[in-house]
Amino acid sequence: MDIQVGDVLTMKKEHPCGSKQWQVLRTGADFKLRCLGCGHEVMGPRSKFERSVKQVQRP
């Protein structure tokens, strides 16, 4: 999957704040994402996040 820094990802499941939109801050073996609802930042393995992506929006 081609995901780049600055993309907005729509995930299958909601964050506890109610938002499904995440902005990509860093890519590589791990992704760093920021929730567009509350601003919470998370880092995790690429494989986990790629499975839960529903849609990719380019700026």
What tens-digit pLDDT sequence spans the chain (59 residues)? 899 999 999 999 999 999 999 999 999 999 999 999 999 999 999 999 999 999 999 98
Contact 22, 5 (CB under 8 A): no
pLDDT, residue 33, reads: 97
Extents of the domains making up the chain = 8-57
What are the percentages of helix, strand and coil residues in the chain, rounded to 5? Answer: 10, 45, 45
pLDDT, residue 1, reads: 82
pLDDT, residue 59, reads: 83
CA triple 22-54-58, angle to 5 deg: 55
